[in-house]
């Protein structure tokens, strides 16, 4: 069967794709930017990639007419203040586009919407479900609350809070109840409902059997990790202060923090477990989900991370718009150094950032990340998804990977930190020489002043960086 997978480069989509392929499906991956899609050699011939933007109707003409099923795994939360309008418009465009195909079923991953009072985010999800339900195909809506798994936004936020704060003075919404579910169970359910007529034109809540407050989730996480944590809730913390609290302590962006705080005031508890009976699934308990997530982290097997999505950095980011580094009107810092061991040098470049750090004057990089956070930027806390592998579209601290090719010996990064301009960092080995180029395209007088202000520091950190990258480590 032929399956359209929207959001194929997202957290859920990356996990779902290999499972669909193992099931024998031919998958059409719908993405906004082909350059962000990394195709494993094992996937060759089993899928195709098309560029679609659900807010642009003309792009949806790229959807093949002969698809049998489709997954709707996209949302615009944090994209703008008007994301609910964008989400409704996208759902309508998608519904109309699928009306021109042979699609029998659409599977939509939504949020649990059982509370009488919904947040803006959850209300938008419900409106999307209503619009998708008007199509000529059968709609199966799978509603989830907090999804726990290695790399998920919820897991990483809980992890940041627990591991960084022995004592928490927290907002009162930590008393709100929710019902989490593990990512492995989400994937089982998403694949279990495809071409299953029992679930056509129906909606299901999916969750584990654990009904917990957010405070319970933090304390249970601490218990699994062997940490002693103390939490007190206060009634005086406003939504704005709560958002700043999440933003500064965790790796989330401020816009996402605002949306999360808004949703965390609403109980997300499943009404029934019918889908578990239909598919014969027994979801993992919350603490088991945590243990499973850490196994993946310890084995360096994180398949996807929310941090690699555009909502963790710049919005409407398209690699094709930035992969060609400009020359006109730019400042450049070019450094060259002979490479005695090419393999070692490439390995160092490919492991840069995250836990490895930047090889020289890490405290200055950390200071720059802290300053970026103060001005509403992403800071250094996003790290990287995999310690050894880098692909286009991945996040790398406050950079976004534009191009990564070991054969060509080149890595190109684009800055997502707050800047009065745009910045690129390029590593390339040519004729046994590493060429390290920092490019800055200033915006106005402020941008030029910024470049001259930080130029002395560039001399320190960039010279130290290339020296460490090309250092010959004798075995």
**What CATH code would you report for 322-469?**
3.30.530.20
Largest CA distance in the chain: 67
Q: What's the token pair of residue 15? A: 């996990």
pTM of the shown model: 0.81
pLDDT of residue 358: 94
DSSP-assigned beta bridge partners for residue 138:
105
Cα torsion 286, 292, 294, 296: sign: negative
Domains 2-308 and 322-469 share a fold: no
Q: Where does 2-308 sit in CATH, by number?
A: 3.40.50.720
Q: Report the pLDDT value the prediction gives residue 117, as an integer from 0 to 100.
A: 80
pLDDT in tens, the chain (475 residues): 999 999 888 889 989 999 999 999 999 999 888 877 777 766 777 899 999 999 899 999 999 999 999 999 987 655 556 778 888 999 999 999 999 999 999 999 998 988 878 778 788 889 999 999 999 999 999 999 889 998 888 888 888 889 888 998 888 888 889 999 999 999 999 999 999 999 999 999 999 999 999 999 999 999 999 999 999 988 776 767 777 777 787 777 777 777 777 777 788 899 888 999 999 999 999 999 999 998 888 776 666 666 666 554 554 556 666 778 988 889 999 999 999 999 999 999 999 998 899 999 999 999 998 888 888 788 887 888 888 888 888 889 899 999 999 999 999 999 988 899 999 999 999 999 999 999 999 998 999 999 999 988 888 999 999 999 998 765 5
Question: Phi and psi of 208, rounded to 5°?
Answer: -80, 180
| For the chain, domain boundaries | 2-308, 322-469
Long-range contacts formed by 314-319: CB under 8 A, 24+ apart: 314/400, 314/416, 315/78, 315/79, 315/80, 316/79, 317/33, 317/400, 317/416, 318/32, 318/33, 318/35, 319/33, 319/35, 319/36, 319/392, 319/393, 319/402, 319/403
The pLDDT value recorded for residue 315 is: 47
pLDDT for the residue 122: 84
């Amino acid at each position: 069967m032929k399956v359209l997978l929207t959001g194929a480069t997202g957290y859920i989509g990356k996990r779902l794709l290999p499972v669909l392929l193992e099931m024998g499906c031919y998958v059409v991956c719908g993405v906004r930017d082909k350059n962000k899609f990394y195709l494993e050699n094992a996937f060759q011939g089993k899928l195709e990639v098309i560029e679609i933007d659900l807010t642009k109707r003309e792009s949806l003409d790229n959807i093949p007419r002969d698809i049998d099923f489709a997954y709707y795994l996209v949302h615009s939360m944090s994209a703008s203040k008007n994301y609910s309008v964008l989400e409704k418009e996208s759902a309508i465009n998608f519904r109309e586009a699928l009306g021109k195909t042979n699609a029998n079923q659409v599977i939509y991953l939504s949020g649990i919407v059982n509370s009488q009072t919904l947040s803006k985010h959850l209300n938008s999800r419900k409106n999307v479900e209503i619009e998708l339900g008007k199509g000529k195909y059968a709609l199966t809506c799978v509603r989830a609350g907090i999804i726990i798994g290695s790399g998920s936004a919820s897991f990483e936020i809980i992890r940041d809070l627990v591991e960084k704060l022995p004592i928490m003075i927290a907002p009162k919404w930590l008393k709100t109840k929710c019902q989490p579910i593990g990512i492995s169970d989400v994937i089982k359910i998403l694949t279990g409902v495809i071409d299953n007529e029992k679930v056509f034109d129906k909606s299901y809540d999916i969750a584990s059997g654990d009904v917990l407050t957010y405070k319970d989730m933090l304390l249970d996480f601490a218990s699994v990790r062997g940490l002693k944590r103390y939490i007190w809730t206060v009634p005086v913390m406003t939504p704005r202060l709560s958002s700043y609290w999440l933003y500064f302590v965790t790796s989330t962006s401020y816009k996402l923090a605002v949306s999360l705080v808004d949703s965390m005031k609403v109980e997300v508890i499943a009404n029934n477990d019918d889908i578990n009976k239909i598919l014969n699934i027994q979801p993992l308990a919350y603490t088991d989900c945590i243990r499973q997530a850490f196994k993946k982290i310890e084995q360096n097997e994180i398949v996807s991370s929310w941090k690699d999505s555009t909502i963790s950095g710049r919005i409407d980011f398209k690699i094709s718009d930035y992969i060609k580094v400009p020359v006109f009107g730019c400042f450049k810092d070019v450094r060259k150094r002979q490479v005695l061991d090419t393999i070692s040098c490439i390995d160092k470049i490919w492991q840069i950032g995250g836990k490895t750090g930047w090889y020289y004057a890490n405290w200055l990089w950390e200071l720059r990340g802290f300053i970026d956070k103060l001005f509403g930027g992403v800071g250094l806390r996003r790290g990287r998804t995999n310690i050894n592998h880098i692909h286009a579209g991945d996040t790398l601290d406050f950079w976004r990977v534009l191009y990564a090719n070991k054969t060509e010996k080149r890595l190109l990064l684009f800055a997502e930190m707050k800047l009065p301009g745009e910045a690129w960092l390029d590593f390339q080995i040519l004729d046994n020489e590493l060429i390290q180029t920092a490019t800055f395209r200033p915006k106005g007088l402020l941008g030029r002043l910024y470049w001259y202000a930080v130029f002395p520091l560039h001399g320190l950190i960039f010279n130290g960086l290339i020296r460490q990258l090309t250092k010959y480590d004798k075995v």
